[in-house]
Structure 1
Amino acid sequence: MIIEKIDTFGGHRDCVYALERGPQPNQVFSSGADGLVVRWQLDRPDLGELVAKVPASVYALALHPTTGLLWVGQNYEGLHLIDPVQKVEVSSLKLTSAAIFDIKFYKNDVIIALSDGVVVVVDSESLAIKKHLKASDQSARCLSVNPVEREVAVGYSDHGVRIFDLATYDLKRIIPAHTNSVFTVLYSPDFRFLLTAGRDAHLKVWDVEHEYALQQEVVAHMFAINHLTYNPTGTLFATASMDKSIKIWDAETYRLLKVVDRARHAGHGTSVNKLLWTDYHNQLLSASDDRTISVWKVA
């Protein structure tokens, strides 16, 4: 496997926390502690374009698949719905005074994870709040939707993962998953497995079809794992860590294939917060506390 750094996007004034794919394969959005929402062109890397600016940190971006609106979760204020083409705010929702850590869509619902432990379900058309899911007093950090089983997995700072029914939003299962905060949860592309990771630096794989039995556990990094993502074909996945490295893994065997770091690949000098593996020439993007976004070619 050959990893080549092909670009660095600079321009953010503070840590970059959020990456989201754009409406076109060659477009991505980023945001972070500076409140700037920027659109990048992967084929024209010098063309960073400011789409919006909000007054506080952004941890969560989500592009709605049908309306094309970019949902921006602003710290302590709520949600801003941005038209990225016109660069205007279409509407907003003063949802909470808590931080917004993740946003996911399922049918007409928007599922939002908050730092006060609440998961809010909002109707995407009317922006009316449908449900408050309060299953923990500690932060709901991350979400992953499984449309096959009609479930959503939520990772919490209380070390646990909870599985909710997407039809009723009833709590179906509590998994005592880790020994510290869970920062990232992700169903495999075939939805047979749930991958979880977080502050304890362990990667765990749960068998969805066998009542979420623990299938595999890997001591994957030296420090907290902030995020993980699959490549477009589902054959590989990548993890990003506070230890400043990105690691590439075989999706079937969970074997480590490559370590991407500063010494070997001119990687990030600080915590790697977010990953986005695009369809555009199989490019992998990584966002960091060092205020930059690196673009990697994986061959």
Structure 2
Amino acid sequence: MYSLQVDRAGALSGHQNPIFAVENGPEPAMVFTGGNDKGVVQWNLETMAFEKVLYPVQFSVYALHLIANSTLLAIGTREGKVHVVDIQTQREVARLEHHQRPVFAIKSFRNKPELVVSSEDGTVSIWNTEHFTLLYHFKVSEQTVRTIAISNDEQWIVFGTKEGTVKLYNAVDHTFVAELPSHTRPVTSLCFSPDGRYLLTGGRDAQLHVLDGADFTMVKEFTPHLFTVYAIKYHPTLPIFATGSRDKSIKIWAADDFRLLRTISFEKGFDCHLLSINDITWNPFKDQLVSVSDDKRAMVWDVGV
């Protein structure tokens, strides 16, 4: 049984509006945040300080994704565009103009040059990451496709929708395979476990579903938070995962049996977020957890055994 030590390492302040997305950079200690501001911000976790505005934007940022095997950051915006920016040069190398409604999720493959983008328009687009040409586009839902997960073996793509459905697609040819156990309200987070054993799905119904990673049948379902589960992220090395919620708390769970190990919240005595937690990520620098919130702050947490 793990006895976790959790301490707040620092807070990153400077955003003037809610922060919706956080993503790691290509180097440890490098983190990017974006939200309802006029720019994507780069931070240094070693100095706990603002470094620069990586890229100015005119519309709210809903998604940030570091494209696999690259120094390129994909930025999804409320206007439906995806800006692809080289972190080293701060130059926009591509602008993906396809969706007419906000872009909510972006993922890429490690083993093939493809980027997956989902939108409020209910469709998904697939882009080549060498030339940034559109390869495929297809309709997944009548409403928003809010979140994406790619299986560790890169055989499957899973989409979570505003309708509460979870859709399974073949990642090789992008064909629809099955509708998985759904939520009663919109699906807001998806995550495969590092060993591929489980697919976790979280929703606005405050439920977390644990599906078998092989046949996608329901293994377990429980209520991890009081409100929407906005993020689910596994630790890079320890057998734990974290969830972030609109209830203003972060919870850390055992990966093997889904026991609650720690709750990080103001009510539990932490100097924590005061409004909805919208996204989290584990950064390689000291394996720190970074959370972002409607309270305009990013917070950094030391989590260890």
TM-score above 0.5: yes
How far, CA to CA, are the matches of 1:234 and 1:118 in structure 2? 35
Which of 58, 75, 85 is 1:55 aligned to? Answer: 58
CA deviation map 1:90-115 (0-9, x unaligned): 22121222111111012111101111
Of 167, 189, 212, the match for 1:207: 212
| Deviation of the 1:186 alpha carbon | 0.5
Task: Please tell me whether residue 46 in structure 1 is matched to residue 41 in structure 2.
Answer: no
**Partner of residue 94 from structure 1, selected from 94, 97, 107:** 97
Kept in 2: contact 1:242–1:271 (CA 8 A): yes
Structure-2 separation of matches of 1:36 and 1:223: 29
Aligned residue pairs total: 298
Choose the corresponding residue for 2:256, options 237, 252, 255.
252
- With the length of structure 1 as denominator, give the TM-score of the two structures: 0.97
Distance in 1 between residues matched to 2:94 and 2:115, nearest whole Å: 15
Native 8 Å contact 1:60 1:100 kept in 2: yes
- CA deviation profile, 1:95-140 (whole Å, cap 9, x unmatched): 2221111110121111011111101111112222111121210110
Aligned partner of 1:108 among 106, 113, 117: 113
Q: Does 1:25 align with 2:28?
A: yes
Change in 2 beyond 3 A, CA 1:228/1:147: closer
SS in 1 for 2:101: coil
Q: 1:234 to 1:136 in 2, by over 3 A?
A: farther
2-structure distance, mates of 1:238, 1:77: 29
CA distance in 2 between partners of 1:97 and 1:35 (Å): 20
1:69 corresponding residue in structure 2: 72
- CA root-mean-square deviation: 1.2
Within a 5 Å distance, the mapping from 1:1-299 to structure 2 comes to 1-106=4-109, 107-148=112-153, 150-209=155-214, 211-263=215-267, 264-299=269-304
State percent identity of aligned pairs.
33
What secondary structure, in the 3-state scheme, does the structure 1 residue paired with 2:48 have? strand
SS in 1 for 2:285: coil
Query: Could you list the runs of 5+ residues in structure 1 that have no partner in the other structure?
Result: none
Find the aligned partners of 1:147 and 1:238 in 2 and give their Cα distance.
Answer: 18
- Which stretch shifts more, 281-290 or 63-72? 63-72
Q: CA 1:77–1:162 in structure 2 vs 1: closer, same or farther (change >3 Å)?
A: closer
DSSP-derived class of the 1:281 partner: helix
The answer for unaligned runs of 5 or more in structure 2 is none
Quote the Cα distance in structure 1 between the aligned partners of 2:70 and 2:38: 23
Q: Is the 8 A contact 1:140 1:156 kept in 2?
A: yes
Does the residue aligned with 1:138 lie in a helix, a strand or coil? coil
TM-score by length of 2: 0.95
How far the C-alpha of 1:147 sits from its partner, in A, is 4.2
The amino acid that maps onto 2:116 is I
After superposing the two structures, state which structure 1 stretch, 257-266 or 146-155, moved more: 146-155
The answer to which of 70-79 and 238-247 deviates more is: 70-79
Give the letter for the 2:77 counterpart: Q
Amino acid at match of 1:167: V
Shift of 1:86: 1.8
Contact 1:159/1:176, CA 8 A, preserved across alignment: no
Task: Kindly state the Cα deviation for residue 176 of structure 1 after the two structures are TM-superposed.
Answer: 3.5
